[in-house]
Structure 1
Amino acid sequence: MPVPVQRDPELTRARLAGWLRDHLAARDVTVGPLTVPATAGFSAEILLGDATWTERGRTRTVPLAVRVAPAVHRIFPDLRWAEQVGMQTALARAGVPVAPVLGYEHDAGVLGAPFVVMSRVAGTVPADLPSYHREGWLADASPDRRRTMWLAALTAMSRVHRLDPQTVGASPAPSGDLDFYAGHLEFFGVSGDTDVLAALDWLRAHRPPAPASPRPLWGDARLGNIVFAGDRPAALLDWEMTDLGRPESDLAWFLHMDRFLSDGVGVPRLPGLPPQTETERWYAELLGRPLEHLAYHQVEAAFKFSVITARVVRLLELTGVMPPGSDFPLHRNATALLRRCLANPEWISPARV
């Protein structure tokens, strides 16, 4: 569900053209009409368009994706814009499939907020709304193709987890820590949510030790954040939740988001997508070790997603995308799934908590 763009399109194009001219040593820069993807959300404002310029005597037309930091309505209280752009740039150098970064601007004076300019990666992305389990190109694919894409997505994600944190400059993020969410319950709008508070108590009581060898994390790891070119991931998107920690945290989020878009919204899971037991075996092989504390991290994923969905619903109402009191089911469905996870952690994973 896209956030309405409240900016002058012609002024934005002119300022982007000027910025590209100054930062790419290009001449005769023009930026075409800008659009917003239907899947854009509150983590950033996404602008899509083509830019043409002359460089070393040759004219180039480059499809662009411009990601502008949220200036007013934020999902998280901390922006961490430089960190997520830095992670994406470092991952590209390490050979992880991400959108190539052409440049980054920290000065809010150009577009009203910091932004990053990327080459737009061609391909298709599984939709969250409506769920890719319900309709769309993934639902129309063969079971064999779905299986291939699922395993390819996990393989791409594991490339992040196998990197040395020092190679990409990864560091622990406040938004990845349980105490961060506990300290910002009012900001997210869940300070009186009994399901969220019960999950927080459970997580505190069962918190595992810190990983001996923390690894870079994607954070928002899910099929809906992958551009697929055919059956392979061409780009892993959205690094606003990037962190340093246990790879099982990403795997848990990946599994929970898929479960939410099927069980969580009352839709049968697509045939061909490997079950969790097979996914766990596959990912353990990719990591080269047994999985640790996966059930705990899946409860954690359900908790964090419920906290985030409360904030999203609140922002939908604040921005007028949804009228107040419209009973948009996103948060209600998220907390219903959280209750199921909390009632029986073994339901979500045969691994030990």
Structure 2
Amino acid sequence: MGSQDFPGLEDAINEALSKDEPGSAVSSVEVLEGGHSGITLAAKKADTDGVAGVVIKVAPPGRPPRGRHDVLRQAHILDALVDVDGLVVPRVLTRGWGEWTFYVMESCAGEAAEPVLDSSTRVFDHGVVRARAEAAARMLGVLHRQPITAVAGADSETPNIEAELTRWAKVAAAAYEDDAPGISALPDALRATMPSTVEAPVLVHGDYRLGNVLFDGVTPTGIIDWEIWTATTPGVDIGWFLAFCDPNLFPGVGAPVEGMPTADELLATYYSAGAFRIADIDWFHAFGRFKLAAVMAHNLRRHREGRHVDPFQEQLPSTIAALINSARTILDGGR
């Protein structure tokens, strides 16, 4: 797919650029290979300094730009964080709304990889794995100590932990119970053991994992995919991030990776960046596993119903079961 599949978009982008970066223009607009979050395009931007790559996030045409399709909301948080020491996010170059709603940002160098899940197709240097995981944990700590007032309006939409649980319980309810045995009981079990007090809300990425951090070697160059950022308790990000670093949770689709720090080591790195300690951290481990199982089970149902066919989904039942069983074990007092 190219610019012909998005009639008028290239003209809209260049009109916006003419105001924010006079003399620059984009061309060669194509769907970004590997992009899975809404409509993500790559293009070349030419200006007086030469030609550079850019990435464009676009709201689906004909649909209101709400929720994860509210691309201007994503641009808003990138603007707020782009100059924060210890964080790396793409710089927004321009944005537009109307027939097409979009923003254009710098293309960050490097790659985004999920070592535990990608180890079947490549060999990771153990030093690189450790350095990347520690850098990601450190940046998450920096993100979580930014005041929510850094993003105008974030405090007015702050959900509580009950709202977070309810949100993902709805996703779990959309799964087939046969694909995720025991998942329907987890929301009540999580609710019954919910921490009585939680940390003050912070800015939360919502899908923070190594696969959403670009690295040039071991140097982080950009945290991407901010579709579901919000302001809530930091444990929501931590439980999700650490789940992706545990190979035991992905039987059949993941494998141990030499160099991957333990959860306790990554937590220590996270705290070293100035983040506040999270009480009842085990509950958030369980919540992260539940949330991941819910997402996978929902996607498996969509595949089996033909709404989004992806044969890889058929490999997920054992992982979904492992996530559910691990969450249950934690809530029952295990690790």
**TM-score bracket relative to the smaller structure:** 0.7 to 0.9
Output the CA distance in 1 between the equivalents of 2:107 and 2:334: 37
Unpaired stretches in structure 2, ≥5 consecutive residues: none
Offset, 1:308: 1.9
RMSD value, Cα: 3.5
Question: Counterpart of 1:295 in structure 2: which amino acid?
Answer: D
SS at match of 2:222: strand
Output the CA distance in 2 between the equivalents of 1:72 and 1:145: 43
Offset, 1:272: 1.0
The answer (yes or no) to whether the contact 1:298–1:348 under 8 Å persists in 2 is: no
Question: Counterpart of 2:79 in structure 1: which amino acid?
Answer: T
Output the CA distance in 2 between the equivalents of 1:285 and 1:242: 23
SS at match of 1:11: coil
Question: Counterpart of 1:61 in structure 2: which amino acid?
Answer: V
Offset, 1:239: 1.1
Output the CA distance in 2 between the equivalents of 1:245 and 1:209: 15
The partner residue of 1:99 within 72, 87, 90 is: 90
Output the CA distance in 1 between the equivalents of 2:39 and 2:12: 14
The partner residue of 1:68 within 54, 58, 70 is: 58
The answer (yes or no) to whether the contact 2:199–2:279 under 8 Å persists in 1 is: no
Which residue pairs with 1:48 in the alignment? 42
Question: Counterpart of 2:32 in structure 1: which amino acid?
Answer: V
Deviation per CA, 1:133-188: give whole Å up to 9, x if none.
3233xx332x22321221111111111011111123434258961122335656x4
The partner residue of 1:253 within 226, 240, 246 is: 240
Which residue pairs with 1:15 in the alignment? 11
Deviates most, 250-259 or 82-91: 82-91
Q: 1:243/1:295 Cα in 2 relative to 1: closer, same or farther (>3 Å)?
A: same
Output the CA distance in 1 between the equivalents of 2:300 and 2:253: 20
The answer (yes or no) to whether the contact 1:153–1:232 under 8 Å persists in 2 is: no
Q: 1:33/1:249 Cα in 2 relative to 1: closer, same or farther (>3 Å)?
A: closer
The answer (yes or no) to whether the contact 1:260–1:337 under 8 Å persists in 2 is: no
Question: Counterpart of 2:296 in structure 1: which amino acid?
Answer: T
Which residue pairs with 1:153 in the alignment? 136
Q: 1:238/1:330 Cα in 2 relative to 1: closer, same or farther (>3 Å)?
A: farther
The answer (yes or no) to whether the contact 1:32–1:49 under 8 Å persists in 2 is: yes
Deviation per CA, 1:20-48: give whole Å up to 9, x if none.
4444252473412424222x21x311111
Output the CA distance in 2 between the equivalents of 1:213 and 1:343: 26
Unpaired stretches in structure 1, ≥5 consecutive residues: none
Output the CA distance in 2 between the equivalents of 1:263 and 1:311: 17
Output the CA distance in 1 between the equivalents of 2:334 and 2:50: 50
Question: Counterpart of 1:328 in structure 2: which amino acid?
Answer: Q
With the length of structure 2 as denominator, give the TM-score of the two structures.
Answer: 0.82
With the length of structure 1 as denominator, give the TM-score of the two structures.
Answer: 0.78
Answering whether residue 327 of structure 2 is matched by residue 336 of structure 1, we say no
The answer (yes or no) to whether the contact 1:262–1:268 under 8 Å persists in 2 is: no
Answering whether residue 125 of structure 2 is matched by residue 135 of structure 1, we say no
Answering whether residue 283 of structure 2 is matched by residue 296 of structure 1, we say yes
Question: Counterpart of 1:31 in structure 2: which amino acid?
Answer: S
Output the CA distance in 2 between the equivalents of 1:46 and 1:33: 10
Aligned length: 328
Offset, 1:277: 2.5
Identity of aligned residues (%): 18
Offset, 1:88: 1.8
